[in-house]
Amino acid sequence: MKKGKPTFVDQLVRLGALVLLIALALGIVAGMWDPRKQKLIAFFGLAYPYILLLNILMIVWWCFRGRWSFAFATLLLILTGWRSLTTTFGFIGTEGLGPKADPDLIRVMTYNVHSFKPYGQENVEPVKQQMLDLIEEENPDVICFQEYFTRRKGKFDITDSLKRILKNPYYYFVPSSENDYEATGLAIFSKYPIQDKGEIKFVNGWGNGSIFIDILVGKKTMRIYNVHLQSISFDKQDYNYIDQVKQKMDPELYPSKRILVMLRRAFLKRSAQVDVMKAHMATCKTPFLIAGDFNDTPASYAVTQLTKSLKNTFKEQGTGFGKTYNGKFPNFQIDYIATTQDIDVMNYRIIGARLSDHFPVRSDLRLNP
């Protein structure tokens, strides 16, 4: 039967589908384009998970309408971006519930704890205790904290609590802000002896940076990087960054344009921070992993370049959409653990505890002899 002439609605849908295909193609290549050279494409990398979902819906629509060639073309483009697809959506993996399956495995966790309090609130004792209970239950061998918070004494002496919970582990804490009463910053707690440690500073990176420790696992040395890249959220934790932007911005700009400018500047900052991290990682002669809050989606330039040649633990063992941010935007995966090729990834789990503005992520790893 001969198909009739496309209606106005059909033409409109086709135009929308074409726009989505172009957006998808740009999202796929975003990981290869430095935002400092091509600023526009970075937005498509950030939006890739949303664009992917819309294109999947278009495939369903084309199948429903019997437009098989359109459905196939859309599917083909999605599969062309296999790396972006598999780092955004996991098909087959192992979650690894409960204790470690083997005592020789290394259980690693990364957790942006938002100062051990729910977002937008002051210190809340029950929430802090729930976070500590969660950590005790998961019993990580190594845990990387972003936005770590502790007081010198009292109920919010988190460092003392963690040393007790994790059986007096070794730890390294570098405050980004502190006084005589309390401190916040990056921290790594380890059950393995720390042989060396250090800080990697970012230029103009208020509240962002990286620290590392070298631990002795059996007779082998392994490095742990904990990183917190430039934020892209628009909540209180970013007010310092927003204030910096406003000083250089026309106050008459519409809010949406201000948001775009903030996003663009965050892209640029993360690109520079990735350069710093990659240069340092290139000097590491031992097996290592990098974990933390990258503040960008899997298809982005920052994540693509920082995990290049590494094993992304979500890609290896994650399933579904890896949502790690417990907020409105970007409500997909922005927290990561990635390892060198000589480390096997046994499982991957995002723990759905709505306590901080991030979900904790953990993975059991095996360091090859």
Query: For the segment 77-103, what is each residue's pLDDT rounded down to a tens digit?
Result: 999 999 999 999 999 999 999 999 999
Residues 30 and 136 in one domain: no
Residues 157 and 120 in one domain: yes
Query: For the segment 159-210, what is each residue's pLDDT rounded down to a tens digit?
Result: 999 999 998 789 999 999 989 889 999 999 999 999 999 999 998 877 899 9
Q: Summarize the confidence of residues 242-264 as an average pLDDT.
A: 62
Q: What is the number of domains present in the chain? A: 2
Tokens encoding 328: 């409105």
Task: Give the model's pLDDT for residue 1.
Answer: 45
Tokens encoding 343: 């480390």
pLDDT at position 242 over 60:
no
Does some domain include residue 197? yes
Reported as a pLDDT band with limits 50, 70 and 90, residue 71 is very high
CA distances from 299 to 76, 259, 269, 342 (A): 18, 20, 17, 24
Higher pLDDT, 249 or 283: 283
Query: For the segment 99-134, what is each residue's pLDDT rounded down to a tens digit?
Result: 999 999 999 999 999 988 876 666 778 899 999 999
49 prior amide bond cis, ω within 30 = no
Residues 179 and 268 in one domain: yes
Mean pLDDT of the chain: 90
What is the domain range of residue 339? Answer: 106-367
Longest dimension (CA), the chain: 81
Integer Cα distance of 107 and 35 in angstroms:
34
Residues 19 and 71 in one domain: yes
Integer Cα distance of 68 and 301 in angstroms:
33
Task: Give the model's pLDDT for residue 117.
Answer: 80
Tokens encoding 265: 């500047």
The closest alpha carbon to 205, from 146, 145, 137, belongs to 146
Residues 269 and 323 in one domain: yes
Integer Cα distance of 311 and 331 in angstroms:
23
Reported as a pLDDT band with limits 50, 70 and 90, residue 327 is confident
Which residue reads 């982005």 in tokens? Answer: 300
Does some domain include residue 245? yes
